[in-house]
Structure 1
Amino acid sequence: MTLAILCSGQGAQHRDMFALTADAPEAAGVFAAATEALGCDPRAFVHESSDATMHANAAGQILCVTQALAGFAALTSVVESLSGRTTIAGYSIGELAAWGCAGLFTPAATIDLARQRAAMMDEAGAPGDGLAFVRGLDRQRIDALCARHACAIAIINPGETFILGGDRIELGALCDEALRQGASKAGALKVNAASHTPRLKAASARYRQALAAERPLQRPPSRMRLLSGIDAAAVLNVETGLDKLAAQISQTIDWVACLEACVEAGVDRFIELGPGRALANMTSEAYPKIPARGLEDFRGLDGVRAWLAKSPG
C-alpha cells in the first residue's frame, strides 16, 4: 500500500482540533514542546483563547504544526508497518510540519521554527495584509485581477481555485470584481499575512538562516518521500530542500502539482492530519477514485489506524 500524508495549513483551527490526539501517549512530547512555545498547553489554549487569538499568525502556525506532529506521532507505528513508500506533503505552514513528520527536525525544533516563522512573517508584512480565495476563473483572468489590485497568487489549488495575497482592502475589491466576472466563489480567509507572495521576501531570507541553525538530518528516511511545496519535487538534497522551504514564504505554492506528484508515485490513499479536512476535500474532488480522509473524520485513533492498515480495494 502506498500512502500520502497531508499536513494542513492555517485557517481551520478550532476548539476541538486536538480531540483525537490530546491523550495519545505517543504525542506527549509534542504537546510539551508546544506548551513551551505557546506559553500554555495548546490543548487548553484552543478552549480558553479568543477566536482572534487562535487565528493570529503566531498561535495559528504553532497550533497547526502541533496538530500534524501529534497526529503523526500517534500513527507512526502503523505507517511504519505499511509495505509501500510513504509520500508526505505540507500545505503552507504544513510543509514545515511535513519536515518534522519525516524526522528531519525534532518535534521541539519544528515547533520552535514555526514560532520563528510566524514572528518573521509578522515583522516583514504590512498591517492589513491577508489572504483571499477565488474559484472558477482561469489563470489568465486571475493574473489580470492581481495586476490591477497589486495582489499575487499565493497558492494554486485544484478546480481553478486560487489563494491570493495582498492588502485586505484590495483583496476585497478583487473578490468583488472576480464575482462580477463569473467566479463561482470568492472571499477572505482567516489568515493575517500575505503568505507566499513577494511581500514577505525579507522573511524568506531571515528564515533560511533559522533553518540552517537547527542542523536538520542530512537526508530524509529511505521509506519517506518528502515533497517541496513550490515545485512538488522530492527532497533529495536537504540543503536544496531548505532553500525551497524558506523560499515558499514568499513564492507561490503549487498544490495542484503536489497532488499530481502523489498520484504519479502510485498513492492509493490520502490521510490529512488536520486541523480540518480542507486538503482531503480538495483531493477527493481532484481524484475521486482515490480514498482521501481527514483525521477528524474518525471517532478515535483506533479507527484511523484500522483504515490505514486495511488493504485498498
Structure 2
Amino acid sequence: MGLALLCAGQGSQHPAMFQRLAAEPAASQALELGSQAAGLDLRELADSASGDDLTTNRMAQLLVVTHALGAAAALADCGVEPTVCAGYSVGELAAHCCAGSWSASTAIDVTSQRAALMDTACDAAATPLSMAALVGLSIPRVERLAAEHGCEVAIINGPDHVVLGGPAGAVQDIVDLAPELGARHVKRLPVQVASHTHFIDTAVEPFAGVLREADWRMPQYAVLSGLDGRPVREKPVMVSLLSRQIGERLDWGRCLECVVEHGATAVLEIGPGRALARMVQGRFPHVPARSFEDFRSAAGAARWASRQA
C-alpha cells in the first residue's frame, strides 16, 4: 500500500477541532507549540474561541497546521508511514514537516511568519479581500467572470471546481451571480485574504527570505508542490515554490493526479474537515479516502490505513 497524507488548508477550522487530538499523548508537542504561537490553549479552543476568532488569517493558518502536525505525530506513534505528502495552500507547510523536512517547531514558526507577511500584504491592498469556491462552471468561464469583476482564479481543484480571490465586494458579486450562470455550488469561504493571487504578492519575496533562513533537510517521504505537483527534493526548489504559491495560482487538481502517480493507493486527510478526502473520492473513486476526523482516535485511523494494504 502507498498511503498519502494530505494536509488541509484554512477554511475548515472549527472550535472542536482539537478535542480528539488532546487525548493523544504523541500530539502534545505540536499542540503546545501551536498554543504558544496562537496565544491560547488550543486544547480548550471549544470553550475559549468564537467562530469569528477562527477566521482571522493568522489564527486560521496556525490552527490548521497545528492540527495536521498533531495528527501526523499521533499517526506516526501508531506506526503509520506515508509514501507521499501534499498540502492544500498553507497545508503544504505541514506536509513538509510530515515528510521530514522540518521539525514541528520550524513548521509552526514558518507558518506564523507566513501569516504575518500575508496580513501586511492585505493591509497594503487597501481593500478587504476574500475568497469563494465555485463548482459547475468551466475554468475558462470562471476566468472570464473573475477578470470582469477584478478578481483572479486562485486554485484549480478540478475541471469545474475552482476557488477565486480578490476584493471582498467583487467576490460577493460573483457569489450572487454565479448560480444564474449555472454554478451548482457557490460558497464564500471563511477567510479574510486572497491567497494565491497578485493582490498579496508583496509577501512573496519576504517569505522567500524566511524560508532560506529556516532549517531544512532532505525529506524522508515524497512531498509534492501544490503549484503543479512536482516533487520537492532540494532547498532552493522548496524556497521558490512555497514562496511563489502565496501570489500564484495553485493547481491542486494536478497535485492530486501526481499523488496517485506517486503510488498512493489510499489517502488520509489530516487537519480539520473532510474537503480533501471528498475531492479524492470524486476524482479517483478507486482510491479509498478518509479524514482523520472520521475516526475517534489515531489508533482507529491507523487501523483503517493498515487495512488498505
Residues of 2 paired with 1:239 and 1:13: CA distance?
Answer: 31
Q: Does 1:308 align with 2:305?
A: yes
Residues of 1 paired with 2:233 and 2:188: CA distance?
Answer: 36
Aligned to 2:96: 99
Which deviates more, 66-75 or 178-187? 178-187
Q: Does 1:108 align with 2:114?
A: no
- The answer to whether the 8 Å contact 1:135/1:159 transfers is no
Aligned to 1:220: 219
Aligned to 2:155: 155
Residue type of the alignment partner of 2:138? D
- The answer to whether the 8 Å contact 1:231/1:258 transfers is yes
Aligned to 1:167: 167
Aligned to 1:179: 179
Matches within 5 A, 1:1-313: 1-78=1-78, 86-125=83-122, 126=125, 127-158=127-158, 160-217=160-217, 219-221=218-220, 224-312=221-309
What is the CA deviation profile of residues 279-299 of structure 1, one whole-angstrom value per residue up to 9, with x for unaligned ones?
001110111111000001112
- The answer to whether the 8 Å contact 1:78/1:309 transfers is no
What is the CA deviation profile of residues 36-90 of structure 1, one whole-angstrom value per residue up to 9, with x for unaligned ones?
211221112343111111111111100100000000000114455x5xx611000
Residues of 1 paired with 2:209 and 2:36: CA distance?
Answer: 22
- The answer to whether the 8 Å contact 2:179/2:185 transfers is yes
The size of the alignment, in residue pairs, is 306
207 and 160 in structure 1: CA distance in 2 versus 1, 3 angstrom threshold: same
What is the CA deviation profile of residues 239-279 of structure 1, one whole-angstrom value per residue up to 9, with x for unaligned ones?
11221001101111111011100111221100001200100
Q: CA RMSD in A?
A: 1.4
Residues of 2 paired with 1:284 and 1:76: CA distance?
Answer: 24
Residues of 2 paired with 1:300 and 1:185: CA distance?
Answer: 32
SS in 1 for 2:22: coil
- The answer to whether the 8 Å contact 2:24/2:74 transfers is yes
Deviation at 1:187, TM superposition (A): 2.9
Residue type of the alignment partner of 1:275? P
Residue type of the alignment partner of 2:42? P
Residues of 2 paired with 1:56 and 1:105: CA distance?
Answer: 25
Residue type of the alignment partner of 1:96? L
Residues of 1 paired with 2:178 and 2:35: CA distance?
Answer: 42
- The answer to whether the 8 Å contact 1:232/1:261 transfers is yes
What is the CA deviation profile of residues 138-195 of structure 1, one whole-angstrom value per residue up to 9, with x for unaligned ones?
1111111111011111110125111000011101112233222111122311010000
Residues of 1 paired with 2:89 and 2:153: CA distance?
Answer: 13
What is the CA deviation profile of residues 93-127 of structure 1, one whole-angstrom value per residue up to 9, with x for unaligned ones?
10011111112111111111111111111110134
Unaligned 5+ runs, structure 1: none
- The answer to whether the 8 Å contact 1:159/1:286 transfers is no
Residue type of the alignment partner of 2:274? R
Tell me which stretches of 4 or more aligned residues in structure 1 moved more than 3 Å.
Answer: 77-80
Deviation at 1:20, TM superposition (A): 2.1
SS in 2 for 1:5: strand
TM-score (norm 2): 0.95
Deviation at 1:215, TM superposition (A): 2.4
Percent of aligned pairs with the same residue?
A: 38
SS in 2 for 1:271: strand
Residues of 2 paired with 1:173 and 1:99: CA distance?
Answer: 36
